[in-house]
A and B are shown apart, each in its own frame.
Chain A
Amino acid sequence: MINKNQTRKFISSLLLVALCSLLLALSSPLFAQKILIPMDLKQSEHLKAYGIAYWSLTKGVEVDWLLNYRGGSFMIDNHQLVASECLVRGVNFERISAATASQIYAEVLDENNNQDVVRLEKAPKVAVYVPPNVLPWDDAVVLAMEYAEIPYEKVWDDEVLKGKLLEYDWLHLHHEDFTGQYGKFYASFSTAPWYIEQQVLYEKKAKELGYRKVSELKKAVARTIKEYIASGGFLFAMCSATDAFDIALAAENTDICDVMYDGDPPDANFQKMLDYSKCLAFENFTVERNPMRYEYSDIDIPPSDMAGFVNQETDYFTLFEFSAKYDPVPTMLTQNHANIIKGFMGQTTNFKKSLIKKTTTVLAEKEGTEEVRYIHGNYGRGTFTWYGGHDPEDFQHAVGDPPTDLHLHKNSPGYRLILNNILFPAAKKKPQKT
């Protein structure tokens, strides 16, 4: 027979064990109280939210990226420091209980839901390829990083060729010209002081680094960047840096630059001498022969060549949906609170679908057209992601226009795509589901 005293003792012991288990469970990161940074329409500062995720990583706080959960939300352990920083930066967050957090994890990991968790472990070291001279246009990625308060360093040709890229996890290129044609601005800006200075500066740099022509230097830079990707680097490029990069790689053994760019005419048969096998994303393209035309090739479909009138009000593109559990990388890159994104133009606005290599993944396109806006691919141990257009919140960014004030575009879905790329190298690699 068990007496009352023994029963009481037994129940007390059980309660104690239950309490200890609960405390143990609550102290483990998965079940502890959490901070949820929603990335759906409840978020008032989408862009700065990425900055919080990055900042947390720099403080040694790991971040869980909940793919496809409320627009790609972030879950962070409940540190007061993180909460305070969210307040200071104006990022909406929710303090959730351990139980709610575990429910969310269960929902995200459920095989029936197209969601997944990606653990972000280390703040990626970011470099931006930017010339030392001041050019009269802005760089959307630099604007996004500065607004989100994500630190970055600048590199240019010297650093690239001296192998400094290996110090960075992520490299960004924007309105750059790796073909050596100075952005093909000759027709409109050949007498502008910034254009003249740019040409002289680049020529000096080429000579200094032992190249006879700027085009040769730039091709060498493009090849080095390609090697950086092969060795595990992440490349993100926008606007003209995308197609110009592949054209430079294809033109390794030929001269495509006209006399005003490199002092001699192009090779008469340069088109035949292009080697598409060297390209990352494109093939079978035709390089623009007219040195006065503001286009590099037929990869981009300029507004003048489009079937209908390009209208800011109706120019939208659609993000593709990927399987979060089977294709986590494209899923990360397309996280958004909107899947229809406002279009925006650039020197390179889009990529012609028929000229994209089969190995490249299309992330976004303008439905019903040949226009692809956002692509991703692997090369060696690294990846490249290319995004057409110049500035997601300036439909037609002209030379000399003031930079976009992101305080007015805190929730820009177009800018979010840029910032997805910056966090993507922070992700812990998981074994791929088969």
Chain B
Amino acid sequence: MKKIFLIILIFTSLCGIFAQVRNLDNKFRMAQIYESTGDWDNAVKIYEELFAADSLNVVFFDALMRGYDQLKRYSDAIKIINTHLKFRPKDVGLLSQLGKTYARANEKDKALNAWMSALEVDSRNINSYYIVANAMVESRMLDNAIKVYEKGRSVLNDKFLFAADIGYLYSISMNYEEATRQYLLLLKQNPAQLSFIQSRISIYTGKADGLNSATSIIEAAYKTDTDNPQLIQLLAWLYMEGKKYDKAFSIFKTLDEKTKAGGREIFNFAERAFRDKAYSTAARAYDEVIGKYPKSINIAASEFGYARTLEEAAVEDDTLKLFGDLKPFTIKPSYKSAIDAFNKVITNHPQTEFAARSLYRIAFIQFYTLFDLANAAEALSRIEKKFSNFIPVLLEAAYLSGQVFISQGELEKGAEKFRWLAESRFAQSDIREKANFAIAETDFLWGNFKDAQQKLQNLLANPNSDITNDAIALNVLIQENLTNENLLKDFTKGILLKRQRQFNKAAEVFEQLTTKQPDADIAENTLVVLGDVYTMMQQYEKAISTYERLMEKFPDNVFADKSQLKLAAVYQWGLKNSAKAIEAYQKLLEKYPGSVYVNEARRRIREIRGDVL
């Protein structure tokens, strides 16, 4: 009987327990439904009941914490955390959560105390610092998180510990100096992390203060550790980011030396500086390779690069090309050092493409800048004889050679060069088109106008070609003046003289032409080139009166706006009369509002006025 009673009792108790558990489960599910609909008030009521029924249940605890958090019932949340802490006093996560809850309740001191307690649980455990610091970051207390990591470093006696984390926190706090110091520590500890560190630092080098801070810190570190190749690389990278080419050059030299690169690092730097148009630094870098590493595999390229930097440094920008290839207002720069440097390449590296290219550059300078036709022709002839295996150079040289012949008055020889180029199977279409246009132009200079027009027809058919506009202009000139062929022939004589830079003779021809037939169509074109010729002769008053004559006599001529711009340029740079220049530019704006030169005129007025553009 007793046994039966005992069995019934156990069975009833078990049923009760199961019923109770099932009841709790159901309640929990119901609370979850409330939670999912955002009805936190009802959800929390049930979670509170559940927690009261089983306060050690972690699931109920977490759910109730969530609820209190949503309803901002921080004091209640703190109470239940403390309840759990009685059972789990050394739970770092729980203590950390207590800190976070105090922080949300805006009780900062209590939050800090809770977090300190968390750290004291096991101060030798690295994870405690991560847990607490992360909780602080979540509570947007970045400064405190940094302090926690630093404390960990001190307790664990490892000065490199947490460097990446502290560095990151400093960088997002915009304390770029400290961030860089931390990344430096990381670099010292693990030099292989250079790329990672560089990527971390690059987060803030896009900003001037970030770049300056990083540079100054790495510079200071470098002064005390000049043999560290990673540090040198980092500093070199920062200098290049900041476009501090001189400093970068100095550091690249060191890098090259320390890494025993045999000039490779300096050469790479020189190439980049050249591309960035930092010509003087690039020249010094190339020179360094040449002087110090004569056996470098990059020696020929360095010598050629050196010569190119000297050449480019002497060139002036003239994107508008108002006077064609002529630059009437610039002082002719000295190309002697560049030519010497190119000659050195030819001597030191004969039979190489660098030698061929150097010869071409010499010819280019001699023709376009110095107008030394004999020396230009000589250089080009050497390319043809000695470097015919370097096809691209040979093609460029052939075109230049044709131009030199034309300027020497040897039109047939010039035409022959252009014909060869136009028929060459190695030449690209753009080069062939250039050559075909030059052939037509030569016919024009010869006075074979019909032939010239016939050759221009093919070029006019291709609207995508760079040469089409020139072809249209030449074709129109011929077409408009064919009725008076003799006058056109006189005009071409003047043009040829101008190309030969015999400006006095050209001026005479053009003056005669305008006197002989002042009303002929060709007079328009004549006055334009006559103005240009006077400008080249620095006879600025005559140039101005010629342009003015053009605009008075032919107010609707197609060159009027361009001539007005030239006239203004003569005032601005020739006579250096700013007031008159502004007046002339304004006249262009007023008379030719649809001209393609209006923006340039506006820009120049503002430049003269000193406007902030």
For the complex, what is the distance from the CA of A383 to the CA of B477, rounded to whole Å? 63
Tell me how many residue pairs across A and B have CB atoms closer than 8 Å. 49
Cβ-defined contact, B174 with A263, below 8 A: no
Cβ-defined contact, B602 with A84, below 8 A: no
Give the residue of A87, A193, A197, A268 whose beta carbon is less than 8 angstroms from that of B70: A268
A196-B38 CB under 8 A given contacts A90-B598, A263-B103, A265-B72: no
Q: Provide the B598-611 mask, 1 if CB < 8 A to any CB of A, else 0.
A: 11001001100000
Nearest Cβ on chain B to A334's Cβ, whole angstroms: 29
Residues 4-52 of B contacting A (Cβ, < 8 Å): 38, 40-41
- Residue A203 lies at the interface, judged by CB distance under 8 Å to chain B: yes
- Which residues of chain B come closer than 8 Å to A11, judged between CB atoms? none
- Which residues of chain A come closer than 8 Å to B71, judged between CB atoms? 268
Give the residue of A87, A197, A267 whose beta carbon is less than 8 angstroms from that of B172: A197
Cβ-defined contact, B104 with A196, below 8 A: no
- Residue A88 lies at the interface, judged by CB distance under 8 Å to chain B: yes
Nearest Cβ on chain B to A198's Cβ, whole angstroms: 10
For the complex, what is the distance from the CA of A93 to the CA of B70, rounded to whole Å? 64
- Which residues of chain A come closer than 8 Å to B38, judged between CB atoms? 268, 289
Give the residue of B172, B203, B605 whose beta carbon is less than 8 angstroms from that of A200: B172
- Residue A134 lies at the interface, judged by CB distance under 8 Å to chain B: yes
Residues 127-165 of B contacting A (Cβ, < 8 Å): 138-140, 142
- Residue B69 lies at the interface, judged by CB distance under 8 Å to chain A: yes
- Which residues of chain A come closer than 8 Å to B593, judged between CB atoms? 44, 92
Give the residue of B174, B203, B586 whose beta carbon is less than 8 angstroms from that of A84: B586
- What residue in chain B is nearest A213 (Cβ atoms)? B140
- Which residues of chain A come closer than 8 Å to B598, judged between CB atoms? 90
- What residue in chain B is nearest A264 (Cβ atoms)? B104
- Residue B339 lies at the interface, judged by CB distance under 8 Å to chain A: no
Nearest Cβ on chain A to B597's Cβ, whole angstroms: 12
For the complex, what is the distance from the CA of A264 to the CA of B41, rounded to whole Å? 17
Give the residue of B104, B140, B173, B589 whose beta carbon is less than 8 angstroms from that of A87: B589
- Residue B260 lies at the interface, judged by CB distance under 8 Å to chain A: no
- Which residues of chain A come closer than 8 Å to B172, judged between CB atoms? 193, 196-197, 200
- Residue A89 lies at the interface, judged by CB distance under 8 Å to chain B: yes
A90-B104 CB under 8 A given contacts A200-B174, A267-B72: no
- What residue in chain B is nearest A193 (Cβ atoms)? B203
Give the residue of A88, A197, A265 whose beta carbon is less than 8 angstroms from that of B589: A88
- Residue A201 lies at the interface, judged by CB distance under 8 Å to chain B: yes
Cβ-defined contact, B602 with A268, below 8 A: no
- Residue A59 lies at the interface, judged by CB distance under 8 Å to chain B: no
- What residue in chain A is nearest B104 (Cβ atoms)? A264
Cβ-defined contact, B606 with A88, below 8 A: yes
- Which residues of chain B come closer than 8 Å to A200, judged between CB atoms? 142, 172-174
- Which residues of chain B come closer than 8 Å to A268, judged between CB atoms? 38, 40-41, 70-71
A134-B207 CB under 8 A given contacts A200-B172, A268-B40: yes
Query: What's the interface size class on B, roughly?
Result: 20 to 34
Nearest Cβ on chain A to B67's Cβ, whole angstroms: 10
Nearest Cβ on chain B to A78's Cβ, whole angstroms: 15
Residues 172-229 of B contacting A (Cβ, < 8 Å): 172-174, 203-204, 207
For the complex, what is the distance from the CA of A20 to the CA of B69, rounded to whole Å? 87
- Which residues of chain A come closer than 8 Å to B606, judged between CB atoms? 88
Nearest Cβ on chain B to A262's Cβ, whole angstroms: 8
- Which residues of chain A come closer than 8 Å to B599, judged between CB atoms? 90
- Residue A212 lies at the interface, judged by CB distance under 8 Å to chain B: yes
Nearest Cβ on chain B to A133's Cβ, whole angstroms: 9
For the complex, what is the distance from the CA of A289 to the CA of B38, rounded to whole Å? 11
- Which residues of chain B come closer than 8 Å to A201, judged between CB atoms? 174
Nearest Cβ on chain A to B598's Cβ, whole angstroms: 7
Nearest Cβ on chain A to B601's Cβ, whole angstroms: 9
- What residue in chain B is nearest A201 (Cβ atoms)? B174
- Residue B106 lies at the interface, judged by CB distance under 8 Å to chain A: yes
Nearest Cβ on chain B to A301's Cβ, whole angstroms: 24
Residues 307-351 of A contacting B (Cβ, < 8 Å): none
- Residue B325 lies at the interface, judged by CB distance under 8 Å to chain A: no
Cβ-defined contact, B40 with A88, below 8 A: no
For the complex, what is the distance from the CA of A84 to the CA of B588, rounded to whole Å? 12
- Which residues of chain B come closer than 8 Å to A90, judged between CB atoms? 589, 598-599, 602
- What residue in chain A is nearest B38 (Cβ atoms)? A268
- Residue B590 lies at the interface, judged by CB distance under 8 Å to chain A: yes
Cβ-defined contact, A203 with B140, below 8 A: yes
For the complex, what is the distance from the CA of A203 to the CA of B598, rounded to whole Å? 50
Give the residue of A44, A87, A193, A212 whose beta carbon is less than 8 angstroms from that of B586: A87
A88-B104 CB under 8 A given contacts A196-B172, A263-B140, A268-B71: no
Known contacts A44-B593, A84-B586; 4 additional CB pairs below 8 A are A90-B599, A264-B69, A265-B72, A267-B72
| Residue ranges of B at the interface with A (Cβ–Cβ < 8 Å) | 38, 40-41, 69-72, 103-104, 106, 138-140, 142, 172-174, 203-204, 207, 586, 589-590, 593, 598-599, 602, 605-606
23 A-B residue pairings within 8 Å (CB atoms): A44-B593, A88-B589, A88-B602, A88-B605, A88-B606, A90-B598, A90-B602, A92-B593, A193-B172, A193-B203, A193-B204, A197-B174, A200-B172, A200-B173, A200-B174, A263-B103, A263-B139, A263-B140, A264-B104, A265-B69, A268-B41, A268-B71, A289-B38
**Which 8 A/B pairs are nearest by Cβ-Cβ distance?**
A87-B589, A193-B203, A264-B104, A196-B172, A265-B70, A268-B40, A200-B172, A88-B605
